[in-house]
């Protein structure tokens, strides 16, 4: 079959186009280190890569959430540690005022110390972290406790509901708390009222009431230590979760690399072959273009 000059030239141009595309693809693989540039390069591999990218995105969201929750719980833990210290000091001060041996000056000093402890606890339980009151339940923009005109502390202003956030696919962690469960629990009055009554009873030398106040402080102390233990458990779980998410990230990255990364030795070899093929196609076309009409007629 006779091949015309035009047909041969068109075929040569097609060879240049094909080898040029092969060279460009090989260059992209070598320069980017990725063998999949578009889904058509490997539809199955591209589909698997989409799945792994989605997994990495989910892991990243949980990691950022875990970091935020860990920071918040660390603040709560610190607040509770201070509150426990203050409750211990309050019990010590009240115990020192028990009995008939305490002088008036000692009683007055104990009452002043309890007032300072009341103020410190008020600050602790009104802790605000990044615009959120930690001990107001879901009423997180409302301070849980307010001062009265006489410097005493009013009733709880939050609610009994709490806020929790998902830290992985199957678990959540509480990040706000019902302050009344901590300061009052099942007692008839909260710790602030207990301290106010204690101050008055100490000044009056009312030993039975002082003892009752000390017992109430101990119950608040127990509630605070119980809550701190629960916080510590959540912090430990979050630390374990962070380690697991780190392992999951490494696993997803390894699978993604296997799906999308180019074999550099093969890519460089393919680039060399493509460049050779491209140069050959150019050379063949150039030779064809130089032939004269007499070359075809001879």
Half-sphere exposure of 255 (CA within 13 A, CB side): 17
Q: What is the pTM of this model?
A: 0.73
Q: What is the CATH number of domain 74-254?
A: 1.20.1330.10
The pLDDT of residue 15: 56
Q: What pLDDT does residue 161 have?
A: 95
d(CA 54, CA 267): 27
The full 3-state SS of 109-150, as one line of letters, equals: HHHHHHHHHHHHHHHHHCCEECCEECCECCCCCCCCCCECCC
Whole-angstrom CA distances from 193 to 133, 208, 218, 220, 226 are 21, 17, 14, 12, 21
Give the start-to-end residue ranges of the domains of the chain.
5-35+261-297, 74-254
Tokens 């119950």, residue?
A: 219
The answer to whether 195 and 118 are in contact (CB under 8 A) is yes
Of 250, 277, 265, whose CA–CA distance to 33 is shortest?
Answer: 265
pLDDT at 56: 84
Residue whose entry in the numeric block shows the structure tokens 């009265």: 148
Q: What is the CA radius of gyration of the chain?
A: 38
Both tokens of residue 60? 């990243």
Q: Which long-range contacts (CB under 8 A, 24 or more apart) does 71-78 make?
A: 72/129, 72/130, 72/134, 72/175, 73/173, 73/175, 73/231, 73/234, 73/235, 73/238, 74/235, 75/127, 75/129, 75/134, 76/127, 76/134, 76/177, 76/231, 77/228, 77/231, 77/232, 77/235
pLDDT in the model for residue 173: 93
Write down the pLDDT at residue 256.
Answer: 75
Predicted confidence at residue 255, as pLDDT, reads: 83
Provide the pLDDT for residue 277. 58
| Residue 38 near residue 24, CB atoms below 8 Å | no
How many whole angstroms separate alpha carbon 107 and alpha carbon 102?
7
Other Cβ atoms within 10 Å of 16 Cβ, number: 16
Q: pLDDT (tens digit, 0 to 9) for every residue of the chain, 298 residues total?
A: 445 555 655 665 665 666 666 556 656 655 556 766 777 767 887 788 788 888 888 888 888 999 999 999 999 999 999 999 999 999 999 999 987 888 999 999 999 999 999 999 999 999 999 999 999 999 999 999 999 999 899 999 999 999 999 988 888 999 999 999 999 999 999 999 999 999 999 999 999 999 999 999 999 999 999 999 999 999 999 999 888 888 888 888 788 777 776 655 565 665 566 566 556 655 656 665 555 444 555 5
Block residue for tokens 């009683």: 107
Give me 43's structure tokens.
């539809």
Q: What's the pLDDT score for residue 246?
A: 86
**pLDDT given for residue 77 in this prediction:** 97
């Amino acid at each position: 079959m006779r091949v015309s000059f035009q047909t041969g030239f068109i075929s040569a141009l097609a060879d240049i186009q094909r080898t040029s595309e092969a060279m460009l693809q090989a260059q992209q693989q070598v320069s980017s280190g990725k063998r999949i540039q578009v889904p058509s390069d490997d539809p199955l591999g591209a589909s698997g890569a989409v799945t792994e990218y989605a997994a990495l995105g989910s892991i990243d969201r949980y990691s950022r959430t875990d970091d935020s929750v860990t920071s918040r719980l660390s603040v709560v833990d610190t607040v509770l540690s201070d509150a426990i210290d203050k409750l211990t000091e309050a019990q010590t001060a009240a115990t020192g005022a028990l009995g008939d041996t305490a002088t008036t000056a000692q009683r007055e000093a104990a009452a002043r110390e309890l007032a300072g402890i009341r103020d410190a606890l008020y600050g602790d339980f009104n802790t605000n972290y990044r615009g959120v009151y930690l001990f107001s339940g879901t009423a997180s923009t409302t301070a849980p406790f307010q001062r009265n005109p006489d410097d005493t502390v009013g009733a709880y202003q939050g609610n009994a509901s709490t806020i929790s956030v998902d830290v992985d696919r199957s678990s959540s962690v509480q990040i706000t708390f019902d302050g009344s469960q901590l300061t009052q629990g099942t007692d008839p009055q909260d710790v602030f009222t207990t301290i106010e009554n204690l101050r008055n009873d100490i000044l009056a030398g009312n030993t039975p009431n002082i003892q009752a106040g000390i017992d109430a402080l101990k119950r608040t102390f127990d509630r605070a230590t119980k809550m701190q233990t629960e916080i510590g458990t959540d912090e430990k779980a979050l630390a374990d979760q962070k380690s697991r998410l780190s392992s999951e990230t490494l696993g997803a990255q390894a699978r993604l690399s296997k799906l999308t990364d180019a074999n550099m030795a093969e890519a460089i070899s393919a680039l060399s072959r493509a460049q050779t093929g491209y140069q050959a196609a150019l050379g063949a076309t150039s030779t064809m273009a130089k032939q004269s009409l007499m070359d075809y007629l001879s």
